[in-house]
Structure 1
Amino acid sequence: MKNISLVLNIVLVLAVGALYFLHFSKPSPETVKSSSQKNDSIDYSVAYINSDSVLVNYDYFDKIQAELQDKGAKLEKEYQTRAEGLQREVNDFQRTVNSLTIGQAKALEEDLLKKQQNLRVYQENLSQQLMREESKMNQELYKRVTSFLKEYSSENGIDLVVKFNQGSDVLYANEGMDITKEVIEGLNAAYASELALPKAKTDTTSID
């Protein structure tokens, strides 16, 4: 799950230069069309969230993260069962090899090597399957968060939402711009409402 904490970086990342532009850009003379447009600057409403806090406290994220972990444990168990079966065959071969003819021993050894290669391919397929499930989960999380932020910003007159935590491009922001708590509450309320809907009408996004 080391990649999941990066998902909101894609959603909310902002270059410092862009933030400066939004705060300090001025309309060019060509933009001023009438005497009613005499503002010396254009004001934008900017807010920020702590993406780590959003992930930790978002109920939907807890659910899909648990599903992914269960899926990973299931796939790991399947691989372990096959690996143990192959190991038993190898042990049997080593125990009886002296009683076999050269041709028999060579045939069994080649068969075991082929099974070992197949097991390695199987392990790679399981890893790729889990990565696809995680990618699908990230895409759904991205869609939910950005959809909510778009609606929330429209209702509250916010023009720009940025990520502000360690590693972000924003080095300082007034605490009055922090909407993390409101976003978490809003996301969880929307998810709770979704769970309350009749099962046939809910948006099923299970990763199984």
Structure 2
Amino acid sequence: MKNLSTILSSLALIGVIYLLVQNNNSSSASGESQTKEMPTKSAGELRLAYVNTDSLVANYNYHQDLKVKLEGRAKNIEADLQSKSRAFQENVSILEQQAANLSPQQIQQAQAELQQKQQELMMYRDEQSQALAMEEQELTLLLKADMDLLLDSLKVEMGYDFIFSFDPTSSVLAANPEWDITDIVVEGLNKTYATKKGEKE
């Protein structure tokens, strides 16, 4: 189902969306975070760092778990729709086979009923697609909240003015790997996720 595939494919961009981080004047409550001595590029008095979004998406456990969850939901919806579609087609075939023995009024009534079922099937498909999209949006907000907290904490702790995203589609064409804080971000996010996951279990 193409629309569901489109929804799922957008999940791979979640990490990119999160990392389009601007300089945020508010600071979050400080907690334990991973630190190391990191050289930073100075532009005047600015201190810069970047996150490789491809690496983040591949190694962020929460993102991977959510991707699997949404893919499972999409497959279940698709299987359900295929089952309903097969049942509808069977009803169409039955009508075609029985048409010779039916009166024009009976054929007209049967066609109206099939048309109603077809409309209901299309509405069901749209409702399920919308529900999946809303679920993805809710999960995206949860991911973003964790990302914002960690990046705000790193920004304050390490004195960064800007934290950029870096990937093949970004406007940054090249970057010194010494300014890469991806490992720190991934480690911090995975630690937060493991803690929350343990609390739920």
Shared fold by TM > 0.5?
Answer: yes
Q: Aligned equivalents of 2:200 and 2:101: distance in 1? A: 67
The answer to which of 151-160 and 172-181 deviates more is 151-160
Which residue is equivalent to 2:34?
Answer: none
Which residue is equivalent to 1:104?
Answer: 106
Residue-by-residue CA offset, 1:59-82 (whole Å, 9 max, x unaligned)? 111111111111111211221221
Which residue is equivalent to 2:20?
Answer: 13
CA contact (8 A) 2:15 2:56 kept: no
Distance 1:198 1:64, change over 3 A: closer
Which residue is equivalent to 1:74?
Answer: 76
Q: Secondary structure at the match of 2:174?
A: coil
Which residue is equivalent to 1:29?
Answer: none
Residue-by-residue CA offset, 1:1-32 (whole Å, 9 max, x unaligned)? 221233344333379xxxxxx824xxxxxxxx
CA contact (8 A) 1:48 1:178 kept: yes
Matched to 1:44, the amino acid is: L
Query: What are the equivalent positions in structure 2 for 1:132-147 lying under 5 Å apart?
Result: 132-147=134-149
Which residue is equivalent to 1:89?
Answer: 91
Query: What are the equivalent positions in structure 2 for 1:146-185 lying under 5 Å apart?
Result: 146-185=148-187
Residue-by-residue CA offset, 1:100-158 (whole Å, 9 max, x unaligned)? 11111111111111211221121111111111111112221111112111112222222
Query: Is structure 2 residue 47 aligned with structure 1 residue 23?
Result: no
CA contact (8 A) 2:15 2:53 kept: yes
Q: What TM-score do the two structures reach when normalised by structure 1?
A: 0.77
Q: Secondary structure at the match of 2:54?
A: helix
Which residue is equivalent to 2:38?
Answer: none
Residue-by-residue CA offset, 1:145-176 (whole Å, 9 max, x unaligned)? 12111112222222221001111122222211
The number of residue pairs the alignment matches comes to 175
Post-superposition offset of 1:198: 5.6
Could you list the structure 1 runs, at least 4 aligned residues long, displaced by more than 4 angstroms after superposition: none
CA contact (8 A) 2:47 2:159 kept: yes
CA contact (8 A) 1:5 1:52 kept: no
Q: What TM-score do the two structures reach when normalised by structure 2?
A: 0.79
Matched to 1:45, the amino acid is: R
Which residue is equivalent to 2:54?
Answer: 52
CA contact (8 A) 1:13 1:169 kept: no
Distance 1:177 1:134, change over 3 A: same
Distance 1:198 1:126, change over 3 A: closer
Matched to 2:178, the amino acid is: G
Matched to 1:162, the amino acid is: F
Query: Is structure 2 residue 2 aligned with structure 1 residue 2?
Result: no
Residue-by-residue CA offset, 1:177-205 (whole Å, 9 max, x unaligned)? 00111211121122122223364xxxxxx
